[in-house]
Structure 1
């Protein structure tokens, strides 16, 4: 029979699991290790205005995901105001409303931004060229001459914008530029000149991020579109490119703050930066699951904690398969060591080992007595289960009385599994002798300890919980091991006499 379908399935599982894991790391920035830190900026916008005793409507632009920054969380403080977030072609905006307000008013908006080198702004449509630009005399003549002068020294929209801004510098500023600046602000004037020359452009607002700064204001920048991509220009220096610490707050060319029913409105910004674990920094975006962003983070915390343990079981299963298929270790029950390893995670290793040995030893003694009663299997196993419960209860009470709180965790052992382990070992003792009991019992404990060390490793716990594609990889590895038909390591000792001869 051809093994091709088998290897195709294994290869598909490996590729799918690896692809899903790499996608979560690159696109969602889920870290590979649990100790990674991420820089987070917390920016607070304070809106002040004087209300006039009438209904008030306050509209403010909000930052969005962009190059170098990703929005994590945002919240507001606006007692007595209604609040809604709207999104249109101009981007995201917050709108506060109130039926009646008078006197000085303050509204707060706070956003947390993750510093993310791989973050990118969503695709923005090119701006529409303004066809309604009208210049009064003599500004029309001055604008035409400024445009012609920069146009002759340029080769494309970006070089034209750069040359145009250089003409506004103090060293190259001519009479036409000085005349235009008496009528318009620099950034607005540059946008008008670029649009008149047929170059799509718009004015945007940015905020320089500096740790510990207070009452900062937005700065104006000019975005230029060359038909394929956007470029950001500093209207004062003409330099092209976006500084690393610049956060674009408004990118649609609209007003940052609009207030109806108030006067003397202004917005200032304060900011702080801090580091926090990478897993916590990206947790909110992990909860927004899509087909390619399938994760446990969308579940309630109680279920997340449960799955964090459940997702470790395949790791324990892989350890059992490795030890039984390749090494040849015998265990009492196929996957009993995995369940014991799960109990060790709750009890700690030393406490779990001591508790397991005490319960099994006491259970074997009582089971030996039950064997003389010639009970049926179901009744005998049921009696063993009750005995195990009684033993665990007695140990827990005694531990509490002697102040050994660690002994209370013995209740995490799977009682049914312990009962069946005692039953199997008792039968094995009767049929094969104590030596075989020690071999299988010792193999079970060794396998459980190794499975515990693998499952309790912080790196493995982090990867299995945050990268569900790893489950497909584990499935592929177990399938490959299940196809192994060679000698086990412990079987090779049978050939030792041959090597000696």
Structure 2
């Protein structure tokens, strides 16, 4: 007597799990970003000056918020890499850029840092001809980035920078781009740089969302604890990434065949 057992559709379950997990996280991030954009003060488009507070204060955020919200930024980078499948320059770089954007503003941040990063990338081939060490390259990049952002500040007629943090972060991005360019090529380095800055912009708005500001203000320890638990959960994810679904569709359809047969 022969009979068959229905085979468990592992491939389809993997796809459903990947899509469900990704969409759930993306929906939360989208809600935070939309909330921050809708509640963004009109003055965020202005350059800081003696009469205009820094972008961080115009967001209504304090220095404690940056400290408490930093773990959430790391969770967002982890989610984007392990679940969505977006590669960036490490886990710290997008988060640090997002914190710099919060200090500079959602418009001036990308303009100031983006301009400095592009100029830094342009002079790297010239610096390579001097055959200097990696430490020397970093020192020169910091000087170039600081000069570019100072000139931009003078051109805009305001106090663009109140700390040196964005300068260091911009130089760090150029260094990571330089290393990736040497090992993986210029196209891969350019793509990682673009993905890193785009993710940083998303993290910036997520951390500035009113609900995140309220949590850090009312229950300061809740956000770091939640971020730790979320990081533990995401780190255990071993399924498909959202960006891999199209690439593996043919393989999944081929392997997800008819039920097997067993005899008794």
Per the TM alignment, residue 331 of structure 1 is displaced from its structure 2 partner at its CA by: 0.8
Q: Could you tell me how far apart the structure 2 residues matched to 1:419 and 1:362 are? A: 11
Taking the aligned partners of 1:369 and 1:500, their CA distance within structure 2 comes to 50
1:388 to 145, 149, 155: 145
Superposed, 1:228-267 pairs within 5 Å as none
Counterparts in 2 of 1:360-375, with a 5 A limit? 360-375=117-132
Q: What TM-score results when the alignment is normalised by the length of structure 2? A: 0.66
Which position in structure 2 is the counterpart of 1:447?
199
What is the Cα deviation at residue 449 of structure 1?
A: 1.4
- The question of whether the paired residues in 2 share the 8 Å contact of 1:337 and 1:447 is answered with yes
Aligned-partner Cα distance in 2 for 1:379–1:363: 14
SS at match of 2:129: helix
1:60-71 to structure 2, matched below 5 A, reads none
Counterparts of 2:171 and 2:103, CA distance in 1: 19
Higher helix share: 2
2:213 corresponds to 1:457: no
1:314, CA displacement in angstroms? 1.6
CA RMSD, aligned part only?
A: 2.3
Quote the Cα distance in structure 1 between the aligned partners of 2:236 and 2:171: 32
Once the 2 structures are TM-superposed, how far is the Cα of residue 352 of structure 1 from its aligned partner? 1.1
Q: Is 2:101 the counterpart of 1:349?
A: no
2:236 counterpart residue number: 483
Q: Is the 8 A contact 1:313 1:338 kept in 2?
A: yes
Q: Could you tell me how far apart the structure 2 residues matched to 1:377 and 1:409 are? A: 26
1:331 counterpart = 2:84: no
- Asked if 1:317 is matched to 2:74, the reply is yes
Choose which of 434, 451, 462 in structure 1 pairs with 2:186.
434
Question: 1:379, CA displacement in angstroms?
Answer: 1.4
Greater RCO (CA < 8 Å, at least 6 residues apart): 2
| 1:398 paired residue among 134, 155, 180 | 155
* Contact 1:322–1:481 (Cα < 8 Å) also in 2: yes
Offset of residue 446 of structure 1: 2.0
Q: Tell me the matched-pair count.
A: 193
Q: Which runs of 5+ in 2 are unaligned?
A: 1-60, 255-264
The answer to whether the 8 Å contact 1:367/1:423 transfers is no
CA distance in 2 between counterparts of 1:432 and 1:469 reads 40
Displacement of 1:344 in angstroms is 1.5
Which of these two proteins has the greater Rg computed from alpha carbons?
1
Which string of whole-angstrom CA distances, capped at 9 and with x for unpartnered residues, describes residues 422-472 of structure 1?
Answer: 022123223323321232112112211111111000111111221123321
Per the alignment, residue 97 of structure 2 pairs with 340
